[in-house]
Amino acid sequence: MIKEQIQDGLWRQNAGLVQLLGLCPTLAVTVNITNGFALGVATIFVMMLSNISISPIRNYVPESARVPIFILVIAGLVTIVDLSINALSKPLYDALGIFIPLIVTNCIVLARVEAFASKNSTLPSLYDGFFMGLGLTFVLIILGAVREIVGNGTLFQNLHFLIGEKYQFLTIQLFDSSDGFLLAALPPGAFIALSALIVFLNLVNQKK
């Protein structure tokens, strides 16, 4: 059972590349690896928690009122994550800005609750939330890496916001940032990088 969730989350039903849900944060936040990773982890948390909150009560949720109930649960969880990130790292919180609260409107969270957690028992729902989130996180990290290298000439920029000021040396400067290809750092660059990833995924799938 768990194997299916791994395959679905990471590849066959990948949230970022196949289902194409949650594009707003995917495209807007991924200017570097750190941002992509942090938003990805926040999304994994919210997805796991919302799936395991909904799954046990799925038989008590009336069909007609399910969406407001799901949104209530998701909004509550996101607010908790939002406050926690703000307390953990203020610079990171400032960098991610509005996109943490916007996880509420990320369709992928609601979609998994609706399509999976409300129909399956708790443990598979937990796996589903985790691997769907993980699949999205991988996409966010790859997009962040590509855009950071091409647009800014760096890797792991701002990582010290996440793990502490003394790790500032981890930032790798590949070339001078003024030589970066600006387009990659701007939203259109995100679309182009994402479409390149989708092309890659489809090519691999076709070969099979």
> What's the length of the chain?
208
Does residue 163 interact with other proteins by CB under 8 A? no
* H helix runs in 107-163, sequence order: 107-112, 122-152, 159-163
Does residue 185 interact with other proteins by CB under 8 A? yes
Does residue 165 interact with other proteins by CB under 8 A? no
Does residue 64 interact with other proteins by CB under 8 A? yes
As a whole number of angstroms, the distance between CA 22 and CA 102 comes to 10
Does residue 115 interact with other proteins by CB under 8 A? no
Q: How many residues bind other proteins (CB under 8 A)?
A: 24
Stretch that binds other proteins, among 10-18, 37-45, 112-120, 178-186 (CB under 8 A): 178-186
As a whole number of angstroms, the distance between CA 54 and CA 156 comes to 36
Contact (Cβ atoms closer than 8 angstroms) between residue 129 and residue 55: no
As a whole number of angstroms, the distance between CA 81 and CA 42 comes to 7
Binding site for other proteins (CB under 8 A): 57, 60-62, 64-65, 68-69, 72-73, 76, 79-80, 83-84, 86-87, 90, 177-178, 180, 182, 185-186
